[in-house]
């Protein structure tokens, strides 16, 4: 439709009132002139139909579109259905009556084309053609040329308006589709912008650990009196700086990529990846006298996004260190079921907030909790990791275990790999 009519439209309510007022006026006029005659009855019947339909519509038992169609078509019918009686009325100026009916048909047809569907014009043309033929047969005193002229004028205008309105509606639909596309793109852009901000936060979160190690090593070197020890610590410092630089470079390159390039997968040996990540947390593990056991199968290779996996694993290990008490073990292992390959991180957290775990599992942001040594966090790491994994055909689930918390990354077997589906052996 060219113009939509909604249920709350004040104009449509006013239109209903005007139509009912006009019909009531016509009824009383006919009643005063000729009593309760057939014309008064006609106006009363039409008034009752539209009033009842309006009440049903107001009670939401009828659509606005249907009420509008009833109002328009009943006006056309009521103007033409009493044709034989109008012809028999000696006091009637038939030419004026015929012109008035044609004007009503013309206006009602346009209303239907604008507020409903343009094809209603052809229904109106068809009905008007039958009316003109009936007039020509029942009232031959009026020139045949006037009947033909009326037919041509109404039919031509209706046909032209049909094609014009149809074209306008198509253009309107195209513009609406483009508007929806632009709105969707704007939403995606806002979401992407927000995601990029969150990525920068997790970069800061991931860099906190190695930078803390560098800070501690510089302090030890400054306080060391032994040249041998100092050289040894300098070697460790160089290694830590190199690893931190590599991590920063990878994270920054990754954060500048678009979402599609996040899905550029490669073969990853998960056992080696865990060893690489563990070396980045040596100092943190030693501080709390924790051991990180890499029980991942040495031949466990997966075709996946290394950046996504590294970020997720680092975040899980950071949290495992943060919430595990001293002299405990953090276990990283893998398992497989019918639908997934899983990498699991077991920690020994003592105070487990199950409500917070539930919120994380449902994708909600949670406030950060202090670790066992008052370590702070951003509170966004798990939320972002869960989102990244979801966008890459995987999931993250946290659950309470007998010894603490189990964090499990599940990768669906539908991920394409080099030799079919699943894991590369």
Q: Using pLDDT thresholds of 50, 70 and 90, give the confidence band for residue 4.
A: low
Structure-token match 């670790």, residue found: 371
Give the pLDDT confidence of 393-410 residue by residue, as tens digits. Answer: 888 888 888 788 888 898
Burial-class residue 135 by CB neighbours within 10 Å (0-12, 13-18, 19+): buried
Contacts of residue 391, Cβ cutoff 8 Å, sequence gap at least 6 = 259, 262, 263
Q: Report if residue 27 sits inside a domain.
A: yes
- Rounded mean pLDDT of the chain? 79
167: helix, coil or strand?
A: helix
Q: Report if residue 319 sits inside a domain.
A: yes
Tell me phi and psi for residue 90, to 5 degrees: -70, -20
Q: How far apart are CA 406 and CA 397, in angstroms?
A: 8
Q: Report if residue 167 sits inside a domain.
A: no
Q: How far apart are CA 158 and CA 280, in angstroms?
A: 78
Strands 405-412 and 394-400: antiparallel
Structure-token match 């995987």, residue found: 394
Q: Using pLDDT thresholds of 50, 70 and 90, give the confidence band for residue 379.
A: low
Burial-class residue 289 by CB neighbours within 10 Å (0-12, 13-18, 19+): exposed
Bridge partners (DSSP) listed for residue 31 = none
Are 279 and 410 part of one and the same domain? yes
Are 276 and 134 part of one and the same domain? no
Are 288 and 415 part of one and the same domain? yes
Predicted pLDDT of residue 3: 54
Give the pLDDT confidence of 60-105 residue by residue, as tens digits. Answer: 888 888 888 888 888 888 888 878 877 777 777 888 888 888 888 8
74: helix, coil or strand?
A: helix
- Please say which residue of 142, 170, 197 terminates a domain: 142
207: helix, coil or strand?
A: helix
Share of the chain above pLDDT 90, in %: 6
Share of the chain above pLDDT 70, in %: 85
- Please say which residue of 97, 119, 142 terminates a domain: 142
In the chain, the N- to C-terminal Cα span, in Å, equals 60
Given a contact cutoff of 8 angstroms between Cβ atoms, the answer to whether 303 and 267 are in contact is: yes
Q: How far apart are CA 309 and CA 199, in angstroms?
A: 14
DSSP state of 268: E
**CATH number for the domain that contains residue 299:** 3.30.565.10
Given a contact cutoff of 8 angstroms between Cβ atoms, the answer to whether 345 and 330 are in contact is: yes
Q: Report if residue 322 sits inside a domain.
A: yes
Are 120 and 269 part of one and the same domain? no
Q: Report if residue 288 sits inside a domain.
A: yes
Contacts of residue 27, Cβ cutoff 8 Å, sequence gap at least 6 = 40, 43, 44, 47
DSSP state of 263: G
- Angle at which helices 306-323 and 227-255 pack, to 10 degrees? 130
| pLDDT average, residue stretch 159-167 | 76
Higher pLDDT, 149 or 222: 149
| pLDDT average, residue stretch 166-192 | 80
Question: CA separation (Å) from 367 to 199, 207, 258, 378, 382?
Answer: 17, 20, 28, 8, 11
Tell me phi and psi for residue 272, to 5 degrees: -65, -35
Q: Report if residue 401 sits inside a domain.
A: yes
Choose among 332, 359, 329: nearest CA to 343.
332
Q: Report if residue 196 sits inside a domain.
A: no
Given a contact cutoff of 8 angstroms between Cβ atoms, the answer to whether 120 and 83 are in contact is: no
Given a contact cutoff of 8 angstroms between Cβ atoms, the answer to whether 327 and 365 are in contact is: no
- Please say which residue of 96, 125, 142 terminates a domain: 142
Predicted pLDDT of residue 254: 53
Give the pLDDT confidence of 349-362 residue by residue, as tens digits. Answer: 776 677 778 877 87
Are 412 and 269 part of one and the same domain? yes
Domain count, the chain: 2
Higher pLDDT, 238 or 346: 346
Higher pLDDT, 382 or 267: 267
- DSSP class per residue in 26-56: HHHHHHHHHSS-HHHHHHHHHHHHHHHHHHH
Q: How far apart are CA 393 and CA 420, in angstroms?
A: 16
Q: Report if residue 204 sits inside a domain.
A: no
Q: What range does the domain containing 356 cover? A: 257-421
């Amino acid at each position: 439709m060219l113009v939509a009519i909604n249920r709350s439209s004040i104009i449509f309510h006013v239109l209903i009132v005007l139509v009912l007022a006009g019909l009531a006026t016509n009824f009383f006029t006919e009643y005063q002139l000729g009593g309760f005659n057939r014309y008064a009855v006609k106006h009363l019947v039409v008034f009752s139909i539209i009033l009842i339909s309006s009440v049903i519509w107001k009670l939401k038992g009828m659509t606005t579109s249907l009420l509008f169609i009833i109002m328009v078509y009943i006006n056309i019918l009521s103007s033409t259905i009493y044709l034989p009686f109008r012809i028999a009325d000696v006091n009637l100026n038939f030419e004026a009556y015929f012109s008035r009916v044609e004007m009503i048909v013309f206006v009602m047809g346009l209303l239907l084309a604008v507020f409903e569907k343009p094809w209603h014009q052809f229904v109106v043309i068809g009905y008007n053609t039958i009316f003109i033929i009936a007039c020509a047969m029942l009232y031959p005193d009026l020139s045949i040329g006037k009947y033909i002229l009326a037919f041509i004028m109404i039919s031509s205008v209706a046909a032209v308006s049909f094609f014009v309105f149809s074209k306008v509606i198509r253009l309107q639909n195209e513009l609406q589709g483009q508007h929806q596309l632009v709105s969707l793109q704007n939403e995606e852009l806002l979401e992407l912008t927000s995601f990029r901000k969150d990525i920068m936060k997790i970069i800061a979160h991931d860099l906190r650990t190695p930078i803390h190690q560098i800070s501690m090593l510089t302090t030890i070197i400054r306080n060391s009196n032994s040249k041998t020890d100092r050289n040894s610590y300098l070697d460790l410092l160089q290694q830590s700086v190199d690893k931190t630089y590599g991590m920063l470079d990878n994270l920054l390159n990754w954060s500048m990529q678009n979402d599609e390039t996040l899905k550029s997968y490669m073969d990853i040996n998960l056992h080696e990846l865990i060893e690489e990540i563990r070396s980045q947390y040596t100092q943190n593990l030693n501080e709390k006298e924790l051991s990180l056991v890499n029980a991942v199968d040495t031949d466990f290779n997966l075709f996946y996004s290394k950046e996504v996996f590294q970020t997720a694993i680092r975040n899980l290990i950071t949290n495992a260190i943060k919430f595990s008490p001293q002299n405990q073990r953090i276990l990283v292992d893998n398992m497989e079921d019918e639908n997934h390959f899983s990498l699991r991180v077991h920690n020994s957290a003592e105070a487990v907030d199950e409500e917070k775990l539930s919120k994380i599992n449902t994708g909600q942001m949670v406030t950060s909790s202090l670790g066992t040594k008052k370590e702070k966090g951003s509170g966004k790491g798990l939320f972002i990791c869960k989102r990244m994994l979801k966008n890459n055909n995987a999931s993250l689930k946290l659950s309470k275990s007998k010894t603490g918390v189990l964090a499990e990354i599940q990768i669906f077997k539908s991920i394409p790999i080099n030799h079919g589906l699943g894991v590369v052996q």
